[in-house]
Amino acid sequence: MTRRIQVLLSLFIAFAAIGAVAIYLWDDAQKGTIAEGITIGGIDVGGLDAAGAESQVRSSIVRPLEQPVKVSYEGARYELSAEKLKIRADVEGMVDQALEASEKGGIAGRTWRRISGAEVEESIEPKISYSQSAIEEFVETIAADLNRDAVNASIEPTATSLDPIASQDGLDLAESKLVDAVEGALQEPDPDAHKLKPEVDRVEPEVGTDQLAEQYADYIVVDRSSFTLRHYENLELATEYTVAIGAAGFATPTGLYNIENMAVDPTWNVPDSDWAGDLAGQVIPPGPKNPLKARWMGIYNGAGIHGTDDTGSLGSAASHGCVRMAVSDVIELYDRVSVGTPIYIS
């Protein structure tokens, strides 16, 4: 009886040894094969050897990543090539990682997994490198092209009208988000992921077109050709006045100005000029010798709008550069405008 047990035990040990050797040899033979269930960048590489996995990764991940990144916005198109990006993929490193994951569980665990058909749930991220500076330069180029400041609505004055110019929204590219989007695209083998639409914020102007009338509550236009001063309220013509302008050699300055200062019964600081004769350089207080009657609205470099007793000069070029008005008219205009009111002289 003892002899029989010894024989059976010897046979068991022999079969166990043979089985262990067989399992070892089988496990060793499988070392170059990636376990089922392992993916690289979402690509199933289970059951492939190193060469097959590398080929699969190159065709399914690397080649699609070599497609250019394209950004489009309202008809504008921009492209960043793989050459500029200097894309590099560590294919061998990814496959080595997959092979290493296949070895998990020890020989017993691997053997049971293979016999039972169980899988290794392992998702390996692609190892992709690229030029960060190329992405930043690409986004900066797009920003330089798309970004623009908001433009306030404004007025284009003419001798006979105030023509509104519409406001324009500004554009502000969300640069950091686009950088993130480009980097994300470089991790996606799907070619459609390389087609991006950037986030662009619209910036509203401070003065919109519908705010122009409020912005320009008063506006003065002097038409030298017709000796007419027009006063607009909220961009609508309110009143027209006949005026005198600068005579030959003393032209009233043309262009766009603003009322710089205002005075009731102004003092006249006579310019130190030959045309002033004996009065040159003097200060003339309000009164009969002062040609600046009733009101003064300074425009530019000593020129301004004022009242005059010489109503016969109205409708002609007779002053030394100022705009003359009838006394009743200049008082009426003075009460309607303020410092800062725009004055366009054509």
Instruction: Write the pLDDT tens digit of every residue in 234-268.
Output: 999 999 999 999 988 889 999 999 999 999 999 87
Supply the pLDDT for residue 114.
57
Q: Which of the four pLDDT bands, split at 50, 70 and 90, describes residue 273? A: low
Provide CB contacts within 8 A for 178, sequence distance 6+: 71, 139, 142, 196, 198, 199
Q: What mean pLDDT do residues 331-339 have?
A: 97
Domain 216-345 superfamily per CATH:
L,D-transpeptidase catalytic domain-like (2.40.440.10)
Angle at the Cα of 20 (from 14 to 25), degrees rounded to 5?
125
Provide CB contacts within 8 A for 255, sequence distance 6+: 344, 345
Tokens representing 207 are 């003065």
Provide CB contacts within 8 A for 343, sequence distance 6+: 220, 221, 222, 256, 257, 258, 259, 299, 305
Which has the minimum average pLDDT: 44-53, 63-72, 207-216, 313-322? 44-53
Return the higher-pLDDT residue of 123 and 177. 177
**Nearest alpha carbon to residue 327 among 314, 317, 343:** 314
- Buried-state track 62-92, b at ≥16 Cβ within 10 A, e below 16: beebebebebebeeeebebebebbebebebe
Which has the minimum average pLDDT: 25-34, 47-56, 137-146? 25-34
- The string of pLDDT tens digits covering residues 60-84 is 878 877 889 999 999 999 999 988 9
User: Which bin fits 186, alpha (ψ -120 to 50), beta or left (φ > 0)?
Assistant: alpha
Q: What mean pLDDT do residues 270-289 have?
A: 68
Supply the pLDDT for residue 23.
43
Q: Are 40 and 126 in contact (CB under 8 A)?
A: yes
Return the higher-pLDDT residue of 201 and 127. 201
Angle at the Cα of 137 (from 133 to 138), degrees rounded to 5?
115
**Nearest alpha carbon to residue 145 among 200, 193, 85:** 200
Helices (H), 191-310: 212-215
Query: At residue 165, does pLDDT exceed 70?
Result: yes
Query: At residue 94, does pLDDT exceed 60?
Result: yes
Supply the pLDDT for residue 22.
45
Which has the minimum average pLDDT: 31-40, 92-101, 186-195, 221-230? 31-40
Query: At residue 175, does pLDDT exceed 70?
Result: yes
Return the higher-pLDDT residue of 295 and 121. 295
- Kindly list the domain boundaries of the chain, sorted by start residue: 2-63+90-127, 133-212, 216-345
Supply the pLDDT for residue 322.
92
Supply the pLDDT for residue 277.
59
Query: At residue 150, does pLDDT exceed 90?
Result: yes
Angle at the Cα of 235 (from 232 to 239), degrees rounded to 5?
20
Q: Are 183 and 128 in contact (CB under 8 A)?
A: no
Q: How deeply is 42 buried, as exposed, middle or buried, from its count of CB atoms within 10 A (0-12, 13-18, 19+)?
A: middle
Q: What mean pLDDT do residues 123-152 have?
A: 92
Supply the pLDDT for residue 97.
80
DSSP annotation of 313 reads G
DSSP annotation of 148 reads B
Separation CA 88–CA 97 (nearest Å): 17
Q: CA-CA distances (angstroms) from residue 133 to 138, 153, 346?
A: 8, 39, 53
Supply the pLDDT for residue 330.
97
